[in-house]
Amino acid sequence: MENRKRRLFGLCLAWVILMAAGTLAFQAQKAVLTGSQTQPGQKLPIIMYHNISPNASLQGKYTVSVKEFESDLLYLRERGFTPILTAQLLEHVKQGKPLPDKPVMITFDDGFESFYAYAFPLLQKYDMCAIVAVVGQYADTYTRTEDHHLNYSYLTWPVIGELSRSGLVEIQSHTNNMHTITAKRRGCTINKGENKARYQEILRKDLQLNQEKIKKATGKEPTVLAYPYGAHCKASKEVLKEMGFQAAFTCAEKVNVIPEDKENTDWLYTLGRYNRAHGASSQAFLKPILDQAESG
C-alpha cells in the first residue's frame, strides 16, 4: 500500500512539473530565431530537455523518445556542432579560452532518473556532454526510497555524483525546493508586492542549501541556476550575483550570442533555450535553430 502511494505521488509530481511548465509558456518570450541576427559575436544555441521515455503514452511536450534523443545527437554531429559545458563557456568569456567553431549546449532540467538510464549511455556512445540541473528535494526523496520507476523517479545523490565524475555531465542547480507553482509564488521569482529583502533571503537560503547538497555529492559547487519554469526577475539576478553564480538558464527561445566585448557579462544570466518536445524529427526541430546559429 505504501509503495502504491509513493508511485502515485511520483507520477502526480512528474505530471504537475511538466504541465506547470506548459502553463508558463509565456515565460519563453517566444524570441524564436530573432535577436541574434544583428548582434555580432559567436552564436550559442542551447537545447532544453526534461524527460526521456520509450513509453509512447508518456511522450509529449516535455518527454521525448529515446530514438528522438539519439537522432538529435546524430543530427548535431552531422551539422558539425560540438556540445560544450557551461564551464567551457565561462572559461572562454573570462579567460579567453577558445570554443569549438560551432558550439551547442545540451541541457536537462529536473534531474529525472530517465537521464541516467537512457541519455547518459548515448552521451557515452557518442562522446558528447550535457548539463543536468537538479532539484535538491527530489534527489533527497529518491535517495531515501527504494520505490523507483523510470516513469517518475528522479536521480539519487550517489548517481548524481557518478554522473559528475564521468566528465561528460555537469551538475547545476534547479533550486532546492522552489520548483513549484502556487498562488503565492511562481518558481523562484518574486511575488507582486512582496518585500524584496524577505524574498531575497528566502531565495538565498534555498539556493545555498542546494549548493551544499550538490557539492557534497559531486565535490563541485554549481555555478549556474536553471530558473524553474524560466521565471526570473531583477531581484533574483541580484541574489545570483551575490552568491557567486556566474550564469542562469531561462526558457526564452533564442539563439544566444557571445558578445565580442567580454567585459559585460550580464547576458550570461538570461541564457535562452529551445524546449525539445516529442513529435518533430531532428531535422524539423533543429535545422531552423542551427541555421540561425550559422548565420552571419
For 67-126, write each residue's pLDDT tens digit. 999 999 999 999 999 999 999 999 999 999 999 999 999 999 999 999 999 999 999 999
* DSSP codes of every residue in 84-116: --HHHHHHHHHH-PPPPSSEEEEEEEETBTHII
Mean pLDDT of 286-290: 98
296 by Cβ neighbours in 10 Å (0-12 / 13-18 / 19+) ranks as exposed
Name the domain count of the chain. Answer: 1
Quick one: CA dihedral 74, 256, 51, 206, positive or negative?
positive
pTM of the prediction? 0.88
**What end-to-end distance do the CA atoms of the chain give, in Å?**
60
For 43-58, write each residue's pLDDT tens digit. 999 999 999 999 999 9
For β-strands 256-259 and 41-44, DSSP reports them as: antiparallel
For 204-230, write each residue's pLDDT tens digit. 999 999 999 999 999 999 999 999 988
Alpha carbon distance 293, 195 (integer Å): 40
User: What confidence score (pLDDT) does residue 184 get?
Assistant: 81
User: What confidence score (pLDDT) does residue 283 get?
Assistant: 99
User: What confidence score (pLDDT) does residue 29 get?
Assistant: 39
Least confident of 20-34, 100-114, 277-291: 20-34
**Cβ atoms of 225 and 172 closer than 8 Å:** yes
For 151-190, write each residue's pLDDT tens digit. 999 999 999 999 999 999 999 999 999 998 887 888 999 9
CATH code of the domain containing 49: 3.20.20.370
**Cβ atoms of 232 and 248 closer than 8 Å:** yes
The closest alpha carbon to 112, from 86, 146, 135, 144, belongs to: 135
Quote the domain boundaries for residue 194.
2-294
In the chain, % of residues over pLDDT 90: 80
